[in-house]
């Protein structure tokens, strides 16, 4: 039987079918999307947790850098050494320490106290140490067993402590000056996890290896041992997030009550279903505009990343406005780029410090204070018994050793020539009538700086291979002249010749074990470290003379 329906009924039926169809679709989608919703909520919350913990990681890393700075800083080294040795006004020195600590603690929001302790003596700045005497003693013991490395300990007051010993670096004595305690407000760090979601119920745990540093987890509940999207704890569903902080190496576990993330879900779904039918068309119209705007913002962020990847400057490229996820990604990228540049600059500074240490090690290979005192005694005994030659040689040798033990690394050319005169005074008395010596120096070069004892080993090498080995008379000429921005220093002598490829042999380590050749290698290395690869020794034989030369920048202040 054919049923005749009016248009009104057909439209009503279509609307009714559409309504029930939408109800059925929504019911199916709700069932299907529940698991997907769990996964997405878990992933988003995991990302948020990681982002917040990265900020905590930065705080831990900044704390470690602060500890490194205090341990090695000249101010703390000298002040703590004076306090330990009983030098100076103790009250004034402690006041200086507090003043310095105050300038360090104020920019770091999570650090609430820095304390230096040695026995019963204690000085600090901030909220106070916060540890009992027994806990502080135990933490000090752990720090000493760590051999100067930083250790982390937790406490019952919601704080985490970085503890390490400060040892005296002067003369590498390494005796203990104090124990450093840096107190971090871990509770404030944990509160930042829920700052954007006040209804979020979570428990945070932070550990360093086997040592638990901070825990909000109820002691009555069993600890989770793995990440999970739906673990049941005490009959309630929880999200479990585990991770490791890349800079500090700390492990963290964030246990979040899943129900706290579903508050308002039913109202949201009901309102969304009602608004869906009303705003479907408006949504489609807005969707095109939103997508185009989002793609434009993503492209702007991609262009900034491309510029950074190619080594270009990010200056002049504006930040993305707003506070959405793309703007947050932009801000995090800007912070990452700045931290990357800071790491590169820090690595460059460490390389400069290492190079300076190597230069000082090479310069101070001979540092015999006691020999200078012995030579001074010989000089006065020679004067007493009228042994003029011995007195003069002792005087010249004492002058050389006085210069050797001095702290200066760079000396003017004029000072280097004075040291050379003292050395030649000794050699002329050893080999009378066998050595002639002259200096050719223009006034523009006499004040230029060069490494101490750069010319003396070159002249010594000339005497060794001509007078001592061959018994030949030698004529030595030292010349100093300006060429462009550099000062060229040259030592030439008769009676000997350099072997072919000597410079390559020195730099490859294929030299004899003689003191003279080791001295040449020492000078070549010091010149490279101080002034770069273009300033090493150069050797040649020309017109019957052995000639060695090098250049230094024409500068006149250290």
pLDDT band at 341 (very low <50, low <70, confident <90, very high): confident
State both tokens at 53: 């913990």
What's the pLDDT at 122?
Answer: 92
Is 359 among the domain residues?
Answer: no
Q: What is the pLDDT of residues 12-46, one digit of tens each?
A: 566 566 666 766 676 676 667 667 777 777 787 78
In the 8-state DSSP scheme, what is residue 365?
S
Residue 288 has pLDDT above 70, yes or no: no
One domain for residues 310 and 333:
yes
What's the pLDDT at 186?
Answer: 86
One domain for residues 299 and 435:
no
The residues that bridge with 545 in the sheet, in sequence order, are: 542
Residue 83 has pLDDT above 60, yes or no: yes
Residue 338 has pLDDT above 80, yes or no: no
State both tokens at 75: 């101010």
One domain for residues 94 and 117:
yes
- CB environment 37-49: b (16+ within 10 A), e (fewer): ebeebbeebbebb
What's the pLDDT at 376?
Answer: 56
Considering only residues 193 and 411, tell me which one the structure prediction assigns the higher pLDDT: 411
One domain for residues 47 and 190:
yes
| CA-angle at 408, arms to 406 and 409, nearest 5° | 125
First to last CA, the chain: 112
Q: Are strands 545-553 and 486-493 parallel, antiparallel or unpaired?
A: antiparallel
One domain for residues 115 and 62:
yes
pLDDT band at 490 (very low <50, low <70, confident <90, very high): very high
State both tokens at 466: 């001509």
- CB environment 163-189: b (16+ within 10 A), e (fewer): bbbbbbeeeeeeebbbbbbbbbbbbeb
Compute the radius of gyration of the chain from its Cα atoms: 38
CB 133 within 8 A of CB 143: no
- Rounded to the nearest integer, the mean pLDDT of the chain is 78
One domain for residues 79 and 160:
yes
One domain for residues 300 and 257:
no
What's the pLDDT at 366?
Answer: 44
Is 392 among the domain residues?
Answer: no
Nearest to 143 by CA among 118, 111, 113: 118
User: For the range 25-31, what are the long-range contacts, defined as Cβ-Cβ under 8 Å and sequence gap of 24 or more?
Assistant: 26/273, 30/269
- CB environment 76-106: b (16+ within 10 A), e (fewer): bbebbbebeeeeeeeeebbebbeebbeebbe
CB proximity list for 181: less than 8 A, separation 6 or greater:
113, 114, 115, 116, 117, 124, 129, 131, 136, 139, 161, 162, 163
Q: What is the mean pLDDT of residues 88-108?
A: 89
Question: What is the helix (H) or strand (E) element at residue 306, kind and residue range?
Answer: helix 265-309
CATH of the domain at 417: 3.30.565.10
Distance of CA 279 to the CA centre of its chain: 56
Residue 185 has pLDDT above 60, yes or no: yes
Residue 302 has pLDDT above 90, yes or no: no
Residue 163 has pLDDT above 90, yes or no: yes
Distances in Å between the Cα of 190 and the Cα atoms of 53, 102, 160, 193, 240 are 9, 25, 12, 6, 15
One domain for residues 457 and 501:
yes
Residue 324 has pLDDT above 50, yes or no: yes
Is 369 among the domain residues?
Answer: no
State both tokens at 479: 């010349």
**Considering only 158-167, 238-247, 318-327, which range has the smallest mean pLDDT?**
318-327
Is 24 among the domain residues?
Answer: no
Residue 387 has pLDDT above 70, yes or no: no
**Which residue range is the domain that position 458 belongs to?**
408-553
pLDDT band at 345 (very low <50, low <70, confident <90, very high): low
Specify the length of the chain in residues. 558
One domain for residues 225 and 139:
yes
CB 337 within 8 A of CB 310: no
One domain for residues 283 and 249:
no
Is 318 among the domain residues?
Answer: yes
Q: What is the mean pLDDT of residues 224-244?
A: 79
Looking at mean pLDDT, say which of 132-136, 300-304, 315-319, 554-558 comes out highest: 132-136
Residue 451 has pLDDT above 70, yes or no: yes
Q: What is the pTM assigned to this prediction?
A: 0.43
Is 164 among the domain residues?
Answer: yes
Q: Are strands 474-483 and 435-441 parallel, antiparallel or unpaired?
A: parallel
Q: What is the mean pLDDT of residues 414-429?
A: 86
Considering only residues 332 and 274, tell me which one the structure prediction assigns the higher pLDDT: 332
Is 524 among the domain residues?
Answer: yes
pLDDT band at 384 (very low <50, low <70, confident <90, very high): low
**Considering only 100-109, 159-168, 191-200, 359-368, which range has the smallest mean pLDDT?**
359-368
Domain count, the chain: 3
One domain for residues 130 and 78:
yes
One domain for residues 249 and 110:
yes
Q: Where are the alpha helices (DSSP H) in 436-514?
A: 456-463, 469-470, 502-508
């Amino acid at each position: 039987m054919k049923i005749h329906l009016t248009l009104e009924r057909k439209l009503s039926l279509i609307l009714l079918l559409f309504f029930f169809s939408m109800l059925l679709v929504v019911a199916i989608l709700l069932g299907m999307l529940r698991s997907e919703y769990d996964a997405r909520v878990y992933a988003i919350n995991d990302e948020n947790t990681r982002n917040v913990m990265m900020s905590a990681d930065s705080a831990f890393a900044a704390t470690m850098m602060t500890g490194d700075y205090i341990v090695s800083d000249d101010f703390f080294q000298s002040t703590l050494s004076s306090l330990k040795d009983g030098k100076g006004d103790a009250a004034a020195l402690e006041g200086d320490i507090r003043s310095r600590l105050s300038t360090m603690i104020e920019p770091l929001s999570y650090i609430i106290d820095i304390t230096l302790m040695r026995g019963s003596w204690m000085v600090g700045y901030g909220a106070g140490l916060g540890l009992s005497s027994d806990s502080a003693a135990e933490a000090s013991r752990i720090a000493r067993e760590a051999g100067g490395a930083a250790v982390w300990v937790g406490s019952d007051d919601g704080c985490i402590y970085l503890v390490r010993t400060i040892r005296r670096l002067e003369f590498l004595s390494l005796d203990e000056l104090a124990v450093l305690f840096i107190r971090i407000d871990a509770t404030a760090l944990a509160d930042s996890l829920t700052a954007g979601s006040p209804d979020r119920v979570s428990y945070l745990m932070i550990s360093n290896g086997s040592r638990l540093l901070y825990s909000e987890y109820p002691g009555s509940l069993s600890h989770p041992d793995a990440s999970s999207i739906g673990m049941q704890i005490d009959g309630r569903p929880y999200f479990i997030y585990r991770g490791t902080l890349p800079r500090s190496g700390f492990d963290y576990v964030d246990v979040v009550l899943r129900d706290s993330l579903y508050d308002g879900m039913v109202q949201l779904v009901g309102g969304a279903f009602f608004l869906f039918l009303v705003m479907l068309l408006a949504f489609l119209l807005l969707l095109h505009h939103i997508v185009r705007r989002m793609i434009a913002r993503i492209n702007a962020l991609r262009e900034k990343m491309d510029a950074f990847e190619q080594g270009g400057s990010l200056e002049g490229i504006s930040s993305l406005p707003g506070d959405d996820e793309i703007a947050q990604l932009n801000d995090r990228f800007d912070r990452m780029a700045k931290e990357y540049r800071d790491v590169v600059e820090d690595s460059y500074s460490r390389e400069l410090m290492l190079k300076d240490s190597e230069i000082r090690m090479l310069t101070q290979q001979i540092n015999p204070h006691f020999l200078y005192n012995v030579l001074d005694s010989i000089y006065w005994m020679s004067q007493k018994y009228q042994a003029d030659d011995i007195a003069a040689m002792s005087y010249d040798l004492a002058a050389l050793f006085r210069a050797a033990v001095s702290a200066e690394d760079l000396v003017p050319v004029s000072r280097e020539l004075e040291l050379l005169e003292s050395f030649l005074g000794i050699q002329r008395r050893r080999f009378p009538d066998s050595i002639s010596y002259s200096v050719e120096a223009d006034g523009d070069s006499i004040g230029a700086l060069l490494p101490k004892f750069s010319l003396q080993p070159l002249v010594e090498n000339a005497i060794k291979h001509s007078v001592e080995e061959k018994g030949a008379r030698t004529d030595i000429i030292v010349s100093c002249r300006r060429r462009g921005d550099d000062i060229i220093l040259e030592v030439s002598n008769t009676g000997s010749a350099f072997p072919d490829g000597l410079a390559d042999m020195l730099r490859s380590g294929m030299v004899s074990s003689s003191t003279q050749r080791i001295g040449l290698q020492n000078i070549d290395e010091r010149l490279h470290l101080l002034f770069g690869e273009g300033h090493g020794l150069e050797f040649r034989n020309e017109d019957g003379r052995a000639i060695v030369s090098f250049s230094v920048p024409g500068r006149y202040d250290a």
